Structure 1
Amino acid sequence: MKKLEYFLKKLRTFIISDKAYLTNKFTKKLGYIPNIKTPKSFNEKVNFRMIYDKNPLYTQLADKLAVRDYVSRTIGYEYLVPILAAFNHVNEINIDKLPKRFVLKCNHDSGSSIICQNRAKFDLHKAKEKLSFHLMKNLYYITRERHYKDIAPQIICEEYIDLFANKNRKLVPETCRIHCFSGKPVYAEIDYTDEFGHEFINIYDINWQLQPVTFDYPNMLEPVSEPPLFQEMLRLAQILVTPFDYCRADFLMSDENTLYFSELTFAPNAGRTVISPLSWDFKLGELWEQRITETQSITQTEPAFATASINKKK
């Protein structure tokens, strides 16, 4: 059933244009018709980027393997979650050679992550079924995010990073997303999950002041102190996003002394983030001095990215 659904979505791309598809999804989700030709709001500008901006760097840096070379050369390899192995096919996975805890995911999409907490109890067959399906998929046909279309799919095995060891889970940031405009961090989108599985997102400025806005999820009302490495995270984000008019740099914090790069995001939520109040959608849009980089080559900003090392712990 999932394969049939995916095939129909792929077929749909030959019938409905990206612009028509994205306009329809935008209107249904956000409740207003987007002006994609001359965008003003943040979500409109994300859609404009997906349709018209063909910067090849987006594809290179959306690849979870290729981006590692960029991160290593710009801020340092120590900020990368160590890779244990990479595979082209699920049958290459030899679980006996993996540690007790690890993470499997694909390099070319979203939602494929599988966390193993105990190798002895890990359902490898089920994991292979999920990963096989994701290897077959091309995210472009599902979200119309064109920069995912030309990424060669692989499976990555990463070390497991315990973000919440001996901590109050509710007060520990799950993912830290730094929204950067014109190469500078402006707002931090911080994810939290409480002990009951309820999800929250707080938006802070660069001085850790909570902002009166929500992104898709409600604010966590309990006050949270500024993480010790927050300012360092902003500094690293600024280095990573230098080439872009807008980019979101995502990080993980495993403890008070360790930061890990997560990913660079060029089209958050495929341009359909529910921002409340709506005025903030346009406030963020004003910060984005958008430009088209259709013919920009990789060498204009960084040397060509080398193939990421595989089957080697970094």
Structure 2
Amino acid sequence: MKQSIKKKLLKTDLGTLLFYKIRVLREKLSLAQKSDYQYIKIDYKKRYGKEIDLKNPKTISEKLQWLKLFYRNENMPICSDKYDVKIFLEKFGYEHLLNEVLGVYHTADEIDNIDLESLPDSFVVKATHGSGWNFICKDKTKVDWVDQKKIFKQWMKLNLYVFGREWNYKNLKPKILIEKFIDEHPLNDYKFICYNGKPKTIQVNSVKDNIKYMDFYDLDWNRLGIMYDSYVQADHFVPKPDQYNEMLQIAEELSQEFPYVRVDFYNYNGKILLGELTFFPVGGIKPIVPETDKYENLFGSYLTLPEPNHNMELYHKINA
């Protein structure tokens, strides 16, 4: 029911604006009420129906929550920002993998002054500090830019850290990014999931008949027949991308210093484009279905946790 209401709201500019205003208010209330530890314990029990084991975590969801609480890496926030990630990519000579940038805006005043005349007819607008805060403009002459700019300003007030407590987003400086529109159908999203520097599985997001699908493949491109709960599993086979081996190599290079990271690519017109680096997909706390226990434990076995380097008082308390 809630999902249906949300979809109806997001079909109009006014509804979208109202949705984001409500979310900003909810974020402030949530942050004031619960610590990260309290939030994670409550959220895990609600989704899995049992207490989280942070003393001896085994499943992938438990281990990702452990990383939120007890591990920090200074490059994770940089890589979480859809614009600043270029700083990290430059170390590997991979900055050319990013889509063409048409503009970056840091303040509400700058958003008001976006020069639409200088932009092509089609482009994509993103919030660099979040997930799913995107606007695909296929024809700039058919957009109500007064309302749309109000929505961009609401994005600037949001902090993805609050819901899910993904610490890497907490202190990001919000920016609005405008990129080149990629006009290719279908434009599949290939997400290489890496454990301790080794890709193990690929999440593939595809679109068919205007429906968004998800599926998982192993490294030999066999479908695993699983997805995250509440998503739509693909009813079709997605062919292996032409530059699969090169994407696999790049994902392994970029993941070396991280315990866990998902490296996202598009294979567009014979060219590899990097989508983003994600450290806690769907908050790291979305059950895998079907056969939840099997795959939660299997994927958890792939991840060897690092030595804790944060929140040590809580760590020692839990492990006493």
Q: TM-score scaled to structure 1, two decimals?
A: 0.85
Letter in 1 for 2:237: P
> Counterpart of 2:69?
51
Residues 112 and 130 of structure 1 are in contact (CA less than 8 Å); yes or no, is this contact kept in structure 2?
no
Residues 26 and 272 of structure 1 are in contact (CA less than 8 Å); yes or no, is this contact kept in structure 2?
yes
> Counterpart of 1:127?
148
Taking the aligned partners of 2:93 and 2:198, their CA distance within structure 1 comes to 15
2:46 is the alignment partner of 1:28: yes
Taking the aligned partners of 2:144 and 2:173, their CA distance within structure 1 comes to 26
Letter in 1 for 2:96: E
Query: Structure 1 residue aligned with 2:112, among 74, 91, 96?
Result: 91
> Counterpart of 2:190?
176
**1:7 alignment partner, SS class:** helix
> Counterpart of 2:160?
139
Q: Which runs of 5+ in 2 are unaligned?
A: 1-17, 311-320
> Counterpart of 2:252?
238
Residues 75 and 239 of structure 1 are in contact (CA less than 8 Å); yes or no, is this contact kept in structure 2?
no
Residues 204 and 214 of structure 2 are in contact (CA less than 8 Å); yes or no, is this contact kept in structure 1?
yes
Taking the aligned partners of 1:206 and 1:243, their CA distance within structure 2 comes to 21
Residues 75 and 88 of structure 2 are in contact (CA less than 8 Å); yes or no, is this contact kept in structure 1?
no
Q: Which runs of 5+ in 1 are unaligned?
A: 296-314
Residues 6 and 142 of structure 1 are in contact (CA less than 8 Å); yes or no, is this contact kept in structure 2?
no
Taking the aligned partners of 1:290 and 1:232, their CA distance within structure 2 comes to 27
Letter in 1 for 2:134: S
Which whole-Å deviations, capped at 9, do the CAs of 1:241-281 have from their partners, x for residues lacking one? 111121110111223x1110011111111122221211101
Letter in 2 for 1:222: H
- Bigger shift: residues 21-30 or 4-13: 4-13
> Counterpart of 2:282?
269
Taking the aligned partners of 2:306 and 2:174, their CA distance within structure 1 comes to 29
Query: Structure 1 residue aligned with 2:95, among 69, 72, 77?
Result: 77
Taking the aligned partners of 1:63 and 1:138, their CA distance within structure 2 comes to 12
Give the total of aligned pairs: 286
Taking the aligned partners of 1:14 and 1:267, their CA distance within structure 2 comes to 23
> Counterpart of 2:126?
105
Query: Which of the pair has the greater relative contact order for Cα pairs under 8 Å at 6+ separation?
Result: 1
Query: Structure 1 residue aligned with 2:27, among 2, 9, 23?
Result: 9
2:176 is the alignment partner of 1:155: yes
- Bigger shift: residues 244-253 or 210-219: 210-219
User: 1:185, CA displacement in angstroms?
Assistant: 0.9
Taking the aligned partners of 1:215 and 1:95, their CA distance within structure 2 comes to 38
Which whole-Å deviations, capped at 9, do the CAs of 1:137-158 have from their partners, x for residues lacking one? 2221233111101111111111
Taking the aligned partners of 1:49 and 1:27, their CA distance within structure 2 comes to 18
User: 1:292, CA displacement in angstroms?
Assistant: 4.0
Residues 215 and 225 of structure 2 are in contact (CA less than 8 Å); yes or no, is this contact kept in structure 1?
no
Structure 1 ranges of 4+ moved more than 4 A: none
Residues 162 and 254 of structure 1 are in contact (CA less than 8 Å); yes or no, is this contact kept in structure 2?
no
2:219 is the alignment partner of 1:206: yes
Letter in 2 for 1:294: N
Residues 78 and 88 of structure 2 are in contact (CA less than 8 Å); yes or no, is this contact kept in structure 1?
no
Which whole-Å deviations, capped at 9, do the CAs of 1:50-73 have from their partners, x for residues lacking one? 122122221111111110122233
User: 1:75, CA displacement in angstroms?
Assistant: 4.5
**1:81 alignment partner, SS class:** coil
Taking the aligned partners of 2:252 and 2:59, their CA distance within structure 1 comes to 23
Taking the aligned partners of 1:5 and 1:265, their CA distance within structure 2 comes to 22
Letter in 1 for 2:303: W
User: 1:88, CA displacement in angstroms?
Assistant: 1.5
**2:120 alignment partner, SS class:** coil
Residues 188 and 206 of structure 1 are in contact (CA less than 8 Å); yes or no, is this contact kept in structure 2?
yes
> Counterpart of 2:8?
none
**1:32 alignment partner, SS class:** coil
Identity %: 26
Which whole-Å deviations, capped at 9, do the CAs of 1:102-147 have from their partners, x for residues lacking one? 1111111122211110122122122211110010122212331111
Q: CA RMSD in A?
A: 1.9
Shift in CA distance, 75/43, structure 1 to aligned 2, threshold 3 Å: farther
Taking the aligned partners of 2:94 and 2:234, their CA distance within structure 1 comes to 33
Q: TM-score scaled to structure 2, two decimals?
A: 0.83
Taking the aligned partners of 2:167 and 2:95, their CA distance within structure 1 comes to 28
